[in-house]
């Protein structure tokens, strides 16, 4: 029997980070950068007006007051993107839009709303400091600066920076394409009529969402019956588009469980009992070079196994530096007997704060596999293999599900 640590190590060994791809910005969202992004120019590239108003020499209006306003001639108008040369002459101002380059001789912008809004002549009743309402050259980004290091996960705010710096393409670790195959004669699609003995396919939907949350791109296949040829054809068909293949169900020793029979001749897939609860029977290997993970059919066991073994692998393929869920120590509110030699995973509801500590309350009977309990949890408490008794007040490390 493998330990959890041994099985996780084996999982991480078969799936390394994907080779970087050069993609357009819209395809880079959610991906991890595979290169340092260095600014090719200053941002802004020139002195710009930070708002609509009048570009002035602050020295010329230093004496302005409501009782003694300063009057300036409006000698030009500048729009954003205007590149023609412009210059202030003595006792003059330029009407300027936000984002337009400051004319030579100007060192400040008076807000349009703080003037009499004159077209040919403007009245100013208050002084401004040098640099007021001006976006200075390179104040945002300096040429040659590393603005996004390799390993950054790209979101909309990062795309804005890349686009502003003129980048249309960027090198990233692509999100892994993950095919999910649910197996079982009893499985029917949610929303369709169910006969006695039918079970709705919870795993296909749940694991597809879990793949997305892990940074992967899921492809869910309709449930496949416990029939050798049907499962073999499905797996062979799906290998074309899969970077990772996940099966769920079909792992017990009862008749009709086909995963081992199908995968053994197709590739190098090993099936082991793993010292964990819930779960235990898992498959791991590759088919035609594609990593494959065989998870239990029980929905709670499948999700715990995904969190423990598959999620870190998907993040590794996608280039993440942090592979695992954030963990916090918490005091448990209930006691229970844990399985000897097993690492136990118990859904809990975590409350508290860093200043006063955290409390973990089981959301279902420890050792059970109740979907309602898992749905009500925001963390998974981990009981070490050498712990037989969990006592009220004990501290367990809890993996945060919503972080």
Q: What is the pLDDT of residues 63-87, one digit of tens each?
A: 999 999 999 999 999 999 888 889 9
Is beta strand 336-337 parallel, antiparallel or unpaired with respect to 389-390? antiparallel
Q: Are 343 and 385 in contact (CB under 8 A)?
A: yes
Whether residues 186 and 303 share a domain: the answer is yes
User: Under a CB-based contact definition with an 8 Å cutoff, are residues 61 and 69 in contact?
Assistant: no
CATH of the domain at 114: 2.170.190.11
* Nearest to 140, CA basis, from 74, 204, 45: 45
State the CATH number of the domain containing residue 347: 2.40.340.10
pTM: 0.83
pLDDT of residue 258 exceeding 90, the answer is: no
Indicate if 65 and 82 belong to the same structural domain.
yes
Phi, psi of 320 (to 5 degrees): -70, 145
For residue 264, the model assigns a pLDDT of: 77
Mean pLDDT over each residue of the chain, to the nearest integer: 93
CA-nearest of 281, 286, 214 to 14 is 286
**Residue 279 in contact with residue 134, Cβ under 8 Å?**
no
Q: Are residues 162 and 189 in the same domain?
A: no
Cα–Cα distance, 48 to 134 (Å, whole number):
6
Domain extent at residue 61: 48-135
Q: What is the CATH number of the domain that holds 209?
A: 3.40.980.10
- Same-domain check for residues 214 and 299: yes
The whole-number pLDDT of residue 103 equals 97
- Is there a contact between 364 and 373 (Cβ–Cβ < 8 Å)? yes
Structure tokens at 14: 């078969």
Question: What pLDDT was estimated at residue 253?
Answer: 62
CB atoms < 10 A from the CB of 256, how many? 13
Give the residue-averaged pLDDT of 15-39.
93
Cα(355)–Cα(367) distance, integer angstroms: 31
Q: How many domains does the chain have?
A: 4
Which token pair is 288? 């035609």
Domain boundary among 298, 318, 338: 318
- Look at residues 248, 102, 252 and name the one whose alpha carbon lies nearest to residue 181: 248
- Residue 257 reports pLDDT greater than 80: no
The tokens for 283 are 């498959």
Alpha-carbon span 85 to 77, nearest angstrom: 12
Q: How far apart are CA 364 and CA 201, in angstroms?
A: 22
DSSP states of 171-204: EEEPPPEEEEEEE-TTEE-TTS---TT-EE-HHH
pLDDT confidence band for 302 (50 / 70 / 90)? very high
79 within 8 A of 86, measured Cβ to Cβ: no
State the pLDDT at residue 250: 83
127 and 158 co-located in one domain: no
**Is pLDDT of 255 > 60?**
no
CB burial readout 60-85, b (16+ within 10 A) else e: bbeebeeeebbebeebbebeeebeee
Domain match, 349 and 215 both: no
Q: What is the mean pLDDT of residues 201-218?
A: 95
**Domain CATH code at residue 160:** 3.90.105.10
Determine the angle formed by the axes of helices 228-238 and 259-266, rounding to 10 degrees: 50
Residue 279 sits in the same domain as residue 189: yes
pLDDT > 60? residue 350: yes
Picking from 318, 337, 363, the residue at the C-terminal end of a domain is: 318
Task: Say yes or no to pLDDT of 254 above 70.
Answer: no
Res 304: pLDDT: 97
- Output the CA angle 316-1-348, nearest 5 degrees: 60
Same domain? 303 vs 340: no
Q: Which pLDDT belongs to residue 261?
A: 84
Say whether both 306 and 348 belong to one domain. Answer: no
Q: Tell me the sheet residues that pair with 22.
A: 171
**Co-location of 229 and 301 in the same domain:** yes
Q: How far apart are the first and last CA of the chain?
A: 32
Average pLDDT of the segment spanning 312-317 = 95
User: 236 and 307 share a domain?
Assistant: yes
Q: Is pLDDT of 402 > 60? A: yes
User: In angstroms, rounded to a whole number, what is the distance separating the alpha carbons of residues 261 and 217?
Assistant: 28
When pLDDT is cut at 50, 70 and 90, the band that residue 256 belongs to is low
Query: Using 50, 70 and 90 to split pLDDT, how confident is the model at 157?
Result: very high
Asked if the model's pLDDT at residue 267 lies above 80, the reply is: no
Residue 157 sits at φ, ψ, to 5 deg, of -70, -30
13 phi/psi in degrees, rounded to 5: -70, -30
Residues 348 and 388 in one domain: yes
Task: Choose one of 301, 318, 335: the last residue of a domain.
Answer: 318
């Amino acid at each position: 029997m493998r330990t959890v640590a041994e099985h996780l190590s084996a999982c991480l060994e078969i799936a390394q980070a994907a080779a970087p791809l050069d993609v357009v910005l819209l395809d880079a969202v959610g991906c991890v950068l595979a290169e340092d992004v260095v600014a090719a120019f200053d941002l802004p590239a020139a002195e710009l007006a930070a708002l609509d108003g009048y570009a002035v020499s602050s020295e010329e209006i230093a004496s302005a007051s409501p009782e003694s306003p300063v009057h300036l001639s409006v000698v030009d108008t500048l729009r954003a993107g205007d590149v023609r040369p412009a210059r202030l002459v003595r006792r003059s101002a330029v009407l300027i839009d936000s984002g337009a380059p400051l004319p030579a001789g100007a060192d400040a912008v008076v807000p349009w709303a703080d003037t009499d809004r004159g077209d040919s002549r403007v009245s100013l009743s208050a002084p401004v400091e040098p640099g007021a309402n001006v976006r200075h050259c390179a104040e945002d980004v300096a040429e040659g600066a590393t603005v996004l290091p390799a390993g950054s996960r790209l979101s909309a705010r990062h795309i804005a920076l890349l686009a502003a710096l003129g980048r249309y393409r960027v090198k990233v670790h692509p999100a892994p394409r993950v095919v999910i195959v649910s197996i079982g004669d009893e499985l029917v699609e949610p929303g369709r009529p169910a006969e006695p003995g039918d079970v709705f396919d919870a795993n296909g939907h749940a694991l597809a969402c879990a793949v997305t949350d892990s940074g992967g791109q899921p492809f869910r296949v309709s449930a496949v019956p416990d029939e050798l040829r049907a499962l073999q054809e499905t797996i062979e068909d799906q290998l074309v588009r899969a970077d990772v293949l996940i099966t769920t169900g079909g792992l017990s020793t009862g008749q009709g469980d086909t995963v081992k029979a199908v995968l053994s001749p197709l590739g190098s897939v090993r099936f082991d009992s793993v010292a964990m609860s819930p779960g235990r029977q898992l498959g791991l290997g590759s088919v035609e070079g594609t990593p494959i993970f065989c998870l239990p059919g029980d929905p709670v066991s499948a999700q715990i196994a995904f969190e423990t073994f598959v999620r870190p692998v998907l993040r590794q393929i996608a280039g993440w530096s942090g592979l695992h869920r954030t963990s916090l120590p918490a005091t448990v509110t209930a006691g229970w007997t844990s399985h000897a030699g097993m690492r136990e995973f118990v859904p809990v509801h975590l409350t508290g704060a860093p200043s006063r500590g955290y409390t973990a309350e089981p959301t279902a009977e420890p050792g059970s596999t109740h979907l309602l309990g898992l749905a009500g949890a925001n963390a998974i408490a981990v009981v070490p293999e050498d712990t037989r008794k969990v006592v009220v007040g004990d501290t367990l490390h809890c993996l945060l599900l919503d972080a």
